C-alpha cells in the first residue's frame, strides 16, 4: 500500500504561499514587541517553581494598568474637549481591561500558603502597595492622598510624574465640569478647586446627576457618561475585593511585605468611593 506523502503536509501551505519567511532585512513580530526584553524580565530571586507565577501575574497586571491609564487620560482629554462620544469608547475599553485584571487573581489564587512562604522572604520590602501605576489610577479617578507620594521620592522623575497627576483634575472633576457646561447648576467652588484635595460629595452635583437621570432623553450623553463612570468604579471595587480575598487566602492576616496591615488594610480600602453622587442618586431616583 503506497502512501502519498503530500497528504501529511500542512494543509495551509498551498493556499498561503505569500507568507513571509525571510526576515533578514525586515522587522519581525518579536522585534516589534521587544519580546527578547519582555520575556527576559522575569528574574526570580529564589529557586521555587511558583515564583515565576507570582512575577508574571504582577507584570501582566502592570501592563493592563498602563493601558488603563492610557485610555483614561485620553477620555479625560475628550471630555474636556466636549467629545463625549469619544470618551465613551475609551471608558468602555477600561471596563473590559478591568475584567482581565480581576481574572488574574483567579490564577494567582492557585498559589497556596505553603508555596508562597517558600519564596516570600525574597521580596524583601517590595509590595504591590508600592505600585505607582495603581496610585496613578487612583489619582486619575479622584482618590488622592498626599502621604503616598513619599514612597516614590527615591526616583525624582517618577515622583515628579506622580505629583503632576496628583494636582491634575480627575476623571470625575472633568465630568462635573461637563455637567456645568451643559447648563446644570454646579457649586462654583468645585469648578476651579484645588484638585489635589480629596473630592467630597456635593449636593449640587447630586442634584445635577438626578436631573440627568430623570430626563435621559434630554441629557443622553451625560447619562451615558454617568453609567460609564459607575461601570469603572464597580469593576474597580470588584478588583479590590478579589485582591483582598486572594491575599487572605494566601497569607491570612499576616503583615504585608511593604509593612501594611495586609488584609485589614485592603478591607478598609473597599470603603473608598470615587463617584459618590452617582451611587447615592440610586436611592432617590
Contact at 8 Å (CB) between 228 and 88?
yes
Give the whole-angstrom CA distance, residue 46 versus residue 2: 55
Over residues 61-72, the mean pLDDT reads 98
125 touches 257 (CB < 8 A): yes
For 201-210, 220-229, 252-261, which range has the lowest pLDDT when averaged over its residues? 252-261
How crowded is residue 147: how many other Cβ atoms within 10 Å of its Cβ? 6
pLDDT (0 to 100) of residue 96 = 97
Spatial separation of the C-alpha atoms in residues 179 and 189, rounded to whole Å? 14
- Average pLDDT over the chain reads 92
Which pLDDT value is given to residue 90?
Answer: 98
pLDDT tens across 124-160, in order?
888 888 899 999 999 999 999 888 899 999 999 999 9
Q: Is the pLDDT of residue 36 over 80?
A: yes
Read off the pLDDT band of 9 (50, 70, 90): low
Residue 210's CB: how many other CB atoms inside 10 A? Answer: 16
Does position 170 have pLDDT exceeding 90, yes or no?
A: yes
Q: Is pLDDT of 265 > 60?
A: yes
3-state secondary structure 220-276: HHHHHHHHHHHHHHHHHHHHHHHHHHHHHHHHCCCCCCCCCCCHHHHHHHCCCCCCH
- Phi first, then psi, for residue 258 (nearest 5°) are -85, 0
pLDDT above 70: residue 253: yes
Provide the CA 262 distance to its chain's centre, in angstroms: 20
Which three cell numbers, joined as nine digits, stand for 28? 519581525
Q: Element (H or E) spanning 55, and its range?
A: helix 51-80
Residue ranges for the binding site? 54-58, 116, 120, 243, 257
Please give the annotated binding residues for heme, written as ranges: 243
Indicate the domain borders of the chain: 1-41, 52-284
User: What per-residue confidence (pLDDT) applies to 175?
Assistant: 98
Classify residue 95 by its DSSP letter.
Answer: H
Residues in binding site for substrate: 54-58, 116, 120, 257
- Tell me the CATH number for domain 52-284: 1.20.58.480
Q: Lowest-confidence range among 40-54, 227-241, 242-256?
A: 242-256
Radius of gyration of the chain measured on its C-alpha atoms: 24
Amino acid at each position: 500500500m503506497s502512501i502519498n506523502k503530500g497528504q501529511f503536509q500542512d494543509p495551509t501551505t498551498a493556499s498561503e504561499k505569500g507568507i513571509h519567511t525571510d526576515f533578514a532585512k525586515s522587522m519581525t513580530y518579536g522585534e516589534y514587541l521587544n519580546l527578547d526584553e519582555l520575556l527576559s524580565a522575569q528574574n526570580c530571586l529564589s529557586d521555587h517553581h511558583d515564583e515565576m507565577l507570582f512575577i508574571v501575574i504582577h507584570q501582566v497586571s502592570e501592563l493592563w494598568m498602563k493601558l488603563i491609564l492610557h485610555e483614561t487620560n485620553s477620555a479625560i482629554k475628550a471630555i474636556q474637549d466636549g467629545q463625549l462620544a469619544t470618551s465613551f469608547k475609551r471608558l468602555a475599553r477600561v471596563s473590559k481591561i478591568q475584567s482581565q485584571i480581576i481574572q488574574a487573581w483567579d490564577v494567582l489564587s492557585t498559589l497556596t500558603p505553603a508555596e508562597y512562604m517558600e519564596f516570600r522572604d525574597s521580596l524583601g520590602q517590595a509590595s504591590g502597595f508600592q505600585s505607582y501605576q495603581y496610585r496613578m489610577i487612583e489619582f486619575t479617578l479622584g482618590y488622592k492622598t498626599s502621604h503616598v507620594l513619599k514612597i516614590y521620592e527615591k526616583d525624582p522623575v517618577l515622583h515628579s510624574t506622580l505629583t503632576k497627576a496628583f494636582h491634575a483634575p480627575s476623571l470625575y472633576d472633568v465630568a462635573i465640569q461637563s455637567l456645568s457646561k451643559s447648563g446644570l447648576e454646579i457649586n462654583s467652588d468645585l469648578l476651579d478647586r484645588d484638585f489635589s484635595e480629596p473630592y467630597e460629595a456635593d449636593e449640587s452635583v447630586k442634584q445635577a446627576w438626578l436631573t440627568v437621570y430623570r430626563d435621559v432623553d434630554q441629557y443622553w450623553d451625560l447619562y451615558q457618561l454617568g453609567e460609564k463612570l459607575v461601570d469603572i468604579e464597580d469593576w474597580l471595587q470588584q478588583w479590590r475585593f478579589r485582591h483582598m480575598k486572594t491575599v487572605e487566602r494566601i497569607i491570612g492576616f499576616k503583615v504585608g511585605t511593604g509593612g501594611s496591615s495586609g488584609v485589614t488594610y485592603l478591607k478598609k480600602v473597599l470603603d473608598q468611593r470615587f463617584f459618590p453622587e452617582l451611587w447615592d442618586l440610586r436611592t432617590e431616583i
